[in-house]
């Protein structure tokens, strides 16, 4: 996890991403957030929804798209990166999967 420092510099320098990051997420039957699926870079919510629709025309039944901040995306990235490295270590894949 040593290379997060290099990525953090890029995060701090990249204010032009604000307003262009959207999250595709699983939703509950009440349309509430359930879990993260993926991030989408787009110029608008409409474009992000269109991109999700291209991959899965029925995405709207169980998923939704919402705008998120760069800080939110960064926090999700660091959590996922940490979990990935722990899982890789637990599975004994440290030597198998080079980062």
pLDDT value at position 11?
Answer: 54
Q: Scanning the structure block, which residue is given the tokens 């929804």?
A: 49
Q: pLDDT for 11-66, tens place per residue?
A: 555 678 999 999 999 999 998 999 999 999 999 999 999 999 999 999 999 999 99
Q: What pairing do the DSSP bridges indicate for beta strands 21-27 and 63-68?
A: antiparallel
Locate the domains of the chain by residue range: 1-17+70-99, 19-68
Would you call 87 exposed, middle or buried from its count of C-beta atoms within 10 A (0-12, 13-18, 19+)? Answer: exposed
Spatial distance between the Cα atoms of 63 and 26, rounded to a whole number of angstroms: 4
DSSP-assigned letter for residue 66: E
pLDDT grade for 6, boundaries at 50, 70 and 90: very low
Pull the structure tokens for residue 11: 């995060």
- Which pTM was predicted? 0.76
Q: Scanning the structure block, which residue is given the tokens 């991959």?
A: 55
């Amino acid at each position: 996890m040593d290379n997060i420092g290099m990525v953090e510099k890029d995060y701090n320098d990249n204010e032009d991403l604000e307003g262009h990051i959207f999250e595709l997420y699983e939703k509950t039957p009440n349309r509430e957030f359930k879990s993260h699926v993926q991030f989408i870079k787009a110029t608008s919510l409409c474009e992000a929804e269109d991109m999700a629709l291209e991959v899965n025309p029925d995405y709207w039944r169980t998923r939704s798209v919402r705008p998120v901040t760069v800080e939110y995306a960064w926090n999700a990235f660091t959590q996922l990166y940490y979990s990935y490295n722990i899982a890789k270590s637990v599975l004994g894949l440290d030597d198998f999967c080079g980062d």
